[in-house]
């Protein structure tokens, strides 16, 4: 689907997966005018396919587009592009319990421009790929290395939108952490270098004395759709839920820690390393609260539990 800078997206069509032609002077290549989204489609036991809160992805893309001075497809156009692409590829949605179909909507400034300014043309593309677990071992505890040199995002920057440049800035820290045997990187806030922010591609929570606590969205953290869903699910299950600053020392003293995201779903954290100090949670086992929230979340996402929040979209 394409648009000039007037923001009217037209000419959506289904085409076979393949390279996109780009002008070397495309704004996305030179000035980073690009946004991504991520969703998962699950196959239910009856063979039908469901999506989880896709309007939230459409709205988040529109907020990001506004920040980057880009036009964005309407919520209806976004949903229609996502649904049509899934249905055209429905044979790739794995059977129940065998994974899911990852959906990647992409909005780029493909128009050519030299000099920093909004692109004259934009393209919205959706592609899909069957996936399994993001972290090796599925629902088994991951290990996080706290990053002490780099930050994921800067105050007043673009850390709270899903723009492509945010991922460029995490690759080296993530590579270093993986090289040392960790699953991913835990980022601290860029001002005090003491408050927990998030992980390269997921949000973080801690459990302490039956309270579930997640960092306040201060502008440098991506407002995850899974994060918001877990806050609501935990509240409905009777947990005390808090969104506030979490000092790293407090996280190190938590009963349980877990990460949330479309790709990682809910991944328990078994170990955090900070300043060379290694803190372990749960003796290598998944904590009871993490397990309870994982089960509640995935039952809704897979269309197994009753969808009392109206979060699940049935595709066929
Ligand atoms: N933080 C970052 C940096 C991410 O890339 C993601 C994945 N979109 C998340 C958090 C989790 O967001 P969501 O739950 O919407 O997938």
Residue found by looking up tokens 């991913």 in the block: 184
- For residues 158 and 219, give the distance between their C-alpha atoms in angstroms, rounded to a whole number: 8
Q: Kindly give the number of the ligand 1 atom that is closest to the alpha carbon of 37.
A: 8
Query: Under a CB-based contact definition with an 8 Å cutoff, are residues 82 and 12 in contact?
Result: no
53 lines ligand 1 (CB under 6 A): no
Q: Catalytic residue positions? A: 162
pLDDT recorded at residue 139:
86
pLDDT tens-place string over residues 225-284? 999 999 999 999 999 999 999 999 999 999 999 999 999 999 999 999 999 999 999 998
86 lines ligand 1 (CB under 6 A): no
Computed over every residue of the chain, the mean pLDDT equals 96
pLDDT tens-place string over residues 128-156? 999 998 888 778 899 999 999 999 999 99
Nearest to 85 by CA among 25, 127, 144, 29: 127
Residue 157 has pLDDT above 90, yes or no: yes
Structural domains in the chain, CATH included, are 2-131 (3.30.470.10), 142-301 (3.20.10.10)
Per residue in 266-302, is it b (16+ CB within 10 Å) or e — as a string?
bbbbbbbbbeeeeeebbeeebbebbbebbebbbebbb
Which residues does 150 contact at the CB level (< 8 Å), separation at least 6?
169, 170, 172, 173, 187
Nearest-CA residue for atom 1 of ligand 1: 202
Nearest-CA residue for atom 10 of ligand 1: 202
Q: For residue 58, give the 3-state DSSP assignment.
A: helix
Query: Under a CB-based contact definition with an 8 Å cutoff, are residues 12 and 81 in contact?
Result: yes
Strand partners, 261: 265
pTM: 0.97
- For residues 273 and 206, give the distance between their C-alpha atoms in angstroms, rounded to a whole number: 15
Q: With bands split at pLDDT 50, 70 and 90, how would you rate the model's confidence at 33?
A: very high
Q: For residue 64, give the 3-state DSSP assignment.
A: helix
Task: Kindly state the DSSP code that residue 219 receives in the 8-state scheme.
Answer: S
Task: Kindly state the DSSP code that residue 11 receives in the 8-state scheme.
Answer: -
- For residues 129 and 102, give the distance between their C-alpha atoms in angstroms, rounded to a whole number: 5
Residue 116 has pLDDT above 80, yes or no: yes
pLDDT recorded at residue 210:
85
Nearest-CA residue for atom 2 of ligand 1: 201
Q: For residue 240, give the 3-state DSSP assignment.
A: strand
Percent of the chain with pLDDT over 70: 100
Residue 69 has pLDDT above 90, yes or no: yes
Ligand 1 centre to CA of 230 (Å) is 13
Q: For residue 146, give the 3-state DSSP assignment.
A: strand
Query: Under a CB-based contact definition with an 8 Å cutoff, are residues 273 and 144 in contact?
Result: yes
pLDDT recorded at residue 286:
96
Structure tokens, 246: 């979490």
């Amino acid at each position: 689907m394409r648009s000039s800078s007037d923001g009217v997206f037209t000419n959506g069509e289904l085409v076979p997966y393949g390279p996109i032609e780009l002008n070397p002077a495309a704004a996305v290549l030179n000035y980073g005018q690009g946004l991504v989204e991520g969703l998962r489609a699950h196959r239910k036991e009856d063979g039908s396919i469901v999506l989880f809160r896709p309007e939230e992805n459409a709205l988040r893309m529109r907020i990001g587009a506004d920040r980057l001075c880009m036009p964005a497809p309407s919520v209806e156009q976004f949903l229609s592009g996502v649904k049509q692409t899934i249905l055209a590829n429905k044979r790739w949605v794995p059977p129940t319990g065998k994974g899911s179909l990852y959906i990647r909507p992409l909005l780029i400034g493909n128009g050519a421009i030299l000099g920093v300014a909004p692109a004259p043309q934009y393209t919205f593309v959706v592609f899909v790929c069957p996936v399994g677990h993001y972290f090796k071992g599925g629902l088994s505890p991951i290990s996080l290395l706290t990053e002490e040199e780099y930050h994921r995002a800067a105050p007043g920057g673009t850390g709270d939108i899903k723009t492509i440049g945010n991922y460029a800035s995490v690759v080296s820290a993530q590579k270093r952490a993986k090289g040392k045997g960790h699953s991913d990187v835990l980022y601290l806030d860029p001002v005090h270098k003491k408050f927990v922010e998030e992980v390269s591609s997921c949000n973080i929570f801690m459990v302490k004395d039956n309270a579930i606590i997640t960092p306040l969205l201060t502008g440098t953290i991506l407002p995850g759709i899974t994060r918001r869903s877990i806050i609501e699910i935990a509240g409905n299950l009777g947990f005390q839920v808090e969104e506030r600053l979490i000092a790293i020392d407090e996280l190190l003293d938590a009963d349980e820690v877990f990460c949330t995201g479309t790709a990682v779903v809910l991944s328990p954290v078994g170990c955090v390393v900070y300043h060379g100090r290694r803190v372990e949670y749960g003796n290598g086992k998944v904590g009871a609260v993490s397990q309870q929230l994982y089960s509640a979340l995935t039952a809704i996402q897979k269309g197994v539990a009753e969808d009392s929040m109206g979060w699940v979209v049935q595709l066929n």
